[in-house]
Amino acid sequence: MSTKTPSSSSIAQARRTVQQLKREARIERIKVSKASSDLMRYCGEHAKNDPLLMGIPTSENPFKDKKPCTVL
C-alpha cells in the first residue's frame, strides 16, 4: 500500500508546470483569419524588395556571373 514518497523537487516541478500553464492561458490571442491576413499583407508589401522572389537582373546580383570578357 505504501507508495514512494514524492521528492520535494518533483512537487516543485509540478508547481512550476502549473504556474507556466496559467501564464500561457492568460495571453491575449487573435483569430487565425486576422493573423493570416496580416502575414499576407506583410508579404505583399515587401514582395518587390525580395530578390529571391522577384529575381533580379544578372548585372545587379553579385553572385550571378556576368558574361566573361574577352581581352582582344
Partner 1 sequence: MRSPPIPEMATQEVQLNETLAHLKTESDTLKTKLEEERAKLHDVELHQVAEKVEALGQFVMKTRRTLKGHGNKVLCMDWCKDKRRIVSSSQDGKVIVWDAFTTNKEHAVTMPCTWVMACAYAPSGCAVACGGLDNKCSVYPLSLDKNENLAAKKKSVAMHTNYLSACCFTNSDMQILTSSGDGTCALWDVESGQLLQSFHGHAADVLCLDLAPSETANTFVSGGCDKKANVWDMRSGQCIQSFETHESDINSVRYYPSGDAFASGSDDATCRLYDLRADREVAIYSKESIIFGVSSVDFSLSGRLLFGGYNDYTINVWDVLKGTRVSILFGHENRVSTLRVSPDGTAFCTGSWDHTLRIWA
What gap in Å lies between CA 13 and CA 7, rounded to an integer?
10
Q: Which is nearer to partner 1, 52 or 71 (CB)?
A: 52
Q: Which is nearer to partner 1, 63 or 71 (CB)?
A: 63
Footprint on this chain of partner 1 (rule: CB under 8 A): 2-3, 5-6, 10-11, 14-15, 17-18, 20-25, 27, 29-40, 42-47, 49-53, 55-56, 61-65
CB of 67 to partner 1, least distance (A): 14
